[in-house]
Structure 1
Amino acid sequence: MPHEVRNEPAIAVLLPCYNEELTIGEVVRRFRETLSSATIYVYDNNSKDLTALRARAAGAVVVREPRQGKGNVVRRMFADIDADIYVMADGDGTYAPEDAPELINTLLTERSDMV
């Protein structure tokens, strides 16, 4: 079977979340608008609210990580997801999704490992 040929790098947006139902839908929506070719993953870390439902409704791929703690979630995300470029942000809207294209451009044009 032939391999898929891509002209653009595969971009994964990684959003670790714990009880972010009030903001996650908007964060996912803004990333979808800003990076339309990216796949957006929300890793729900035992939220007691509707974080997973809101994220899924906004178009994210939702994965549950039962081991509590951000370190566990981050390790799991990078173990699970294969992409050329990773954009990690928080589900509470701390970081502006609209900054992601500039960060990605810097990563690609400056031959950086991380920005």
Structure 2
Amino acid sequence: MTVIHVDLVLPCLNEAGALPWVLSRLPVGYRAIVVDNGSTDGSAAVAIAAGALVVHEPRRGFGAAAHAGLAAATAPIVAFCDADSSMDPAELPLLVDPVRAGTADLVLGRRRPVTGRSWPLHARIANSSLSWRLRRITGVNIHDLGPMRAVRRESALNLNLQDRRSGYPLEMFLKAAEANWRILEVDTSYSPRVGRSKVTGTVRGTLTAVKDMSALLRETSR
């Protein structure tokens, strides 16, 4: 019987086309927790067939899905990753190993596009601007607030994260920095996703994310 050392939380909204590949890439000792956020394409059934634990979160929003997965996790370390095949779960040990070794408290994946189509220009500009602001605010040398990350489960729960929309990854980072966590950034590959992104794939989605994150930054600067 395989001992589960890491739970991988995969927020999911209509990712039936990408899930088989994503779930086939998990390293040994990792369990997938697919959080179905109201899919209508059979994503949950695909995930179950591939052996994943499926959690249903009816409240729409990345943060709602991510936090539901965190709450359902039981492994000592929890990782987060998009379910759209833009990121390779096989690379997760790059993030998890420093947490397991006790040399970092939060490890973030810095996305390195494998092709020009991987990361739309408007999303890349927004991310660069946000990263610059975060370096100024926190002093942490961050270049990408990417969704792939690893953290100890109890530590993440103790952050008492409240955002349930696009600001969830940012709130985790800000509270971790405020608590003087050791935050590490490592390079990870970033490929074109399967299907259309709900956030960075559209200007509207990107603007919504920027709005959510800007509200958090205003609260932090008060």
Q: CA deviation at 1:101?
A: 1.4
Alignment of structure 1 residues 6-85 onto 2, 5 Å: 10-31=5-26, 35-85=27-77
Q: Which residue of 2 aligns with 1:91?
A: 83
Q: Aligned letter for 1:109?
A: A
Q: CA deviation at 1:80?
A: 2.3
> What per-residue deviation string (whole Å, max 9, x for no partner) do you get for residues 10-65 of structure 1?
2101101000010011101111xxx2212211000000101111111111111111
Report the 3-state secondary structure (helix = DSSP H, G, I; strand = E; otherwise coil) of the residue aligned with 1:40. Answer: strand
Q: How far, CA to CA, are the matches of 2:101 and 2:31 in structure 1? A: 22
TM-score (norm 1): 0.82
Any gaps of 5 or more consecutive residues in structure 1? 1-7
> What per-residue deviation string (whole Å, max 9, x for no partner) do you get for residues 52-106 of structure 1?
1111111111111111111111122222222211111011012111211122222
Q: How far, CA to CA, are the matches of 2:15 and 2:58 in structure 1? A: 16
- Equivalenced residue count is 105
Any gaps of 5 or more consecutive residues in structure 2? 108-222
Q: How far, CA to CA, are the matches of 1:89 and 1:10 in structure 2? A: 16
Report the 3-state secondary structure (helix = DSSP H, G, I; strand = E; otherwise coil) of the residue aligned with 2:105. Answer: coil
Q: How far, CA to CA, are the matches of 2:95 and 2:22 in structure 1? A: 17
Equivalent pairs: percent with the same residue?
33
Report the 3-state secondary structure (helix = DSSP H, G, I; strand = E; otherwise coil) of the residue aligned with 1:47. Answer: coil
Matched, 1:103 2:109: no
The structure whose residues are more often helix, as a share, is 2
Q: Aligned letter for 2:14?
A: N
Q: How far, CA to CA, are the matches of 2:45 and 2:10 in structure 1? A: 14
Equivalent pair of 2:11/2:62 in contact (CA under 8 Å) = yes
Report the 3-state secondary structure (helix = DSSP H, G, I; strand = E; otherwise coil) of the residue aligned with 2:86. Answer: coil
Report the 3-state secondary structure (helix = DSSP H, G, I; strand = E; otherwise coil) of the residue aligned with 2:16. Answer: coil
Specify which structure has the bigger relative contact order, considering alpha-carbon pairs within 8 angstroms and separated by 6 or more residues: 1
